[in-house]
Chain A
Amino acid sequence: MLAVLIILPLLGALTTWLIPSDRLRPVALSAFALGHLGTTIQLLICTPAESPGGWFHLDALGKIVLLSTTVLFMFCAIYSIGYLAYRVERSNRVFCSSLLICLAAASTVTITHHLGLMWVALETTTISMTPLIYFKRNARSIEATWKYLLICSVGVALALIGLYFLAYATIVAHVEPSLLLDDLLSDAGKLSSGWVHAAFVFLLVGFGTKMGLAPLHTWKPDAYGESPGMVGAMLAGGLVNLAFLALLRVYQLCMATKEIAFFQNALVAMGLISMIFAAIFMARQADFKRMLAYSSVEHVGIMAVALGLGGKAVFGALFHIMANSLTKGVLFLSSGNIHRSYNSKKTDHVRGAIRRLPWSGSIFLAGFIAITGSPPFAPFISEFTIVSSAFIQGRYIVASLFLVSLGIIFIGMALTVLPMVMGDPPSDSETTLYKDTLWTVGPPLSLLLLIFLLGVWIPAPLMDILSEGASLLEVKQ
């Protein structure tokens, strides 16, 4: 049953490759995305047992990431019907196929417990996103693509040597050599600490690069800024979570090998650095897509800090996976609409978006309110859980740095977003053919409703998955 999650998108990739019509392809993409969502929900309701050999196992952590990825993907796929209709001048064959290959690889990351296979799938997501970042075919996007491909490939390669170190630690300890998570967890006590320590450093740097934690985030503003809005949404709301899931696996191993204090401190430090970096670069940002990229740096920072704090904050981190990914969907999709309407992503040119695009402008504004952690949206719940947990644990310095960064980011983002959406559109601004339609407004609006819903009420089944996930990551003293 789990195999459907991988085979279905691969079939979809093949189908979209074979379909000759540029108009039909996004429709097929949406159909396969819907099928994937349906399969996911069914698997969440009745989860199959671990596969023989232990390679595939959908546990609570995998479920959280899988669910947020597939929901976001589904809305992005529907959005693509409207979006690609504006891009008729070039073929979208590679675009649709790559997206589905990426979905198949992403599903593999979430359901596998074999760290080697997880690595292969993670690298596949990196490569399959490359043609999407270059979709606009100009000098700026080729620069972004090059940076993204090279930095992420090198980062993930460093993670591979971390995995090799782990495998060697099992050989040195004279236990059955294996990269299966469950084997490693049960043998963790016997592993040689020198190798394990070195492994964790490489894994943190490697997956941290892919996730975009500062100071390893340099590819992020370029890649997010130059790619189409829906690709930005998939990068910021999907791929980031996969790398975070990989870090969660490393975290589980750290818990079992008693290296957890070191790993937690590193996570808190990198997380806070990310938030401070984001706060600095977000202020006076002249390009609203780059601003969203720094917001993504901020939010991976939040997740890292939360994981590093442990305790109740871990629940916040897991909930933030969903909250962040859906909210990034709202922001990137609506900002894509604004970008298309003004044919510019410079904040000097984009003014009065609510006048010009009442729907997209208001959704973007609401998305900004949500992402900065204001009630009643989902990110508020997760961020509040994290801050209160920090105070309960007596980590006052971490908590105050966290809050100060959030405050500065709120002001910095407001200074960019409010002039963009409020006021009158400049009279000399370029007029384009773009108008808000159901296809381009529906997906971000639905995502907005979802994060509103999750902000006021978390359904019981979801709550169970989140608590189960948090209990997997509970550090026992």
Chain B
Amino acid sequence: MITIADQLLVLVLLINFVVLGTSRLIFSIRAVAVQGVILGVLPALIHPFSWHLVGIISMILVTKGVVIPMMLSRAMRSAEIKREAEPYLGYVPTLLLGAVFTALSFGFAGKLPMLAEHQNYIFVPASMATLMAGFLILTTRRKAISQVIGYLVLENGIFIFGLLLADAMPIMVEAGALLDLLVGTFVMGIVINYISREFASLDTSRLTSLKEE
């Protein structure tokens, strides 16, 4: 089981690079959905069966795999954009930065004490690397939808870490966190619609009327 879980985490890391390197928005949305589904399957591999677990897994699969991607692709269609035209930082530099951050995450994780049964997993470095990838996407992309995708990747990174804690977190809190993510993304989708109506584009670099002179 350990090897399968670790291989899935490697897949999650690869998806980070897919999202970092692509300009097609629909492709990014689907990649993040796949990432969400993988994260939904992971808890089943590392925790013994319980109804609590079944509840969490189905919630994750539905929100991250179906609802959020659907909302995003709808927002994308209504805004009539397909590509991230010109990011603040090119794709090659972001990919390189992503690689550097991934390496740093492994270094950071090596410094922290782990529980014996988690020693062999790459949960912590995968979590930190995904978090940093999300941060990179958030800060280097112009389109509002890309920024939401970055936020989702960042949340996925946090979520990977949360997998280590499934026993510590009461289901209410976990459900609450997931619900907040869902509503947050939903509201972002609505705001995106308003942005595209107001500016006839989703380019957040046009959101500059509030700059300090």
Contacts and interface: CB of A to CB of B under 8 A. Distances in A.
* Physical interaction between A and B: yes
Contacts of A167: 165, 168-169
Nearest to B169: A116
A171 B168 contact: yes
Contact of B191 (A116, A117, A146, A172): A146
A281 B211 CA distance: 12
Interface in A143-169: 143-147, 149-150, 153-154, 157, 160-161, 164-165, 167-168
Contacts of B177: 116, 119-120, 123, 160
A161 B191 contact: no
B70 interface: no
B62 to A, nearest CB: 19
Interface string B155-167: 1011001101101
B210 A142 contact: no
A302 interface: no
B210 to A, nearest CB: 5
Contacts of A149: 184, 187-188, 191
B47 to A, nearest CB: 13
Interface residues of B, number: 46
B147 interface: yes
Contacts of A157: 151, 154-155, 158
B32 to A, nearest CB: 15
A221 interface: yes
A225 interface: yes
B210 A130 contact: no
B103 interface: no
A216 to B, nearest CB: 14
A164 B158 contact: yes
B172 interface: yes
Interface in A96-154: 114, 116-117, 119-120, 123-124, 127, 130-131, 134, 138-140, 142-147, 149-150, 153-154
A195 to B, nearest CB: 6
Contacts of B170: 114, 116
A290 B16 CA distance: 38
Contacts of A116: 169-170, 173, 176-177
Contacts of A143: 207-210
Nearest to A281: B212
A425 interface: no
Contact of A168 (B157, B165, B210, B213): B165
A157 B184 CA distance: 11
Contacts of A177: 165, 167-168
A130 B158 contact: no
Given A114-B170, A116-B170, A139-B209, 6 more contacts: A116-B173, A117-B176, A131-B187, A142-B198, A164-B164, A222-B210
Contact of A178 (B114, B168, B198): B168
A30 interface: no
A274 interface: no
Contacts of A144: 210
Contact of A120 (B115, B164, B176, B195): B176
Nearest to A146: B191
Nearest to A53: B170
A168 B164 contact: yes
B161 to A, nearest CB: 5
A142 B165 contact: no
Contacts of B209: 139-140, 143
Nearest to A162: B158
Contacts of B164: 164, 168, 171
Contacts of B155: 157
A144 B167 CA distance: 39
15 contacts: A114-B170, A117-B172, A117-B173, A119-B177, A120-B180, A127-B180, A127-B184, A142-B194, A146-B207, A160-B158, A161-B158, A167-B165, A170-B168, A171-B165, A171-B168
A194 B151 contact: no
Nearest to B138: A154
A475 B157 CA distance: 35
Nearest to B198: A139
Contact of A153 (B111, B127, B151, B162): B151
A22 interface: no
B154 to A, nearest CB: 6
A227 to B, nearest CB: 12
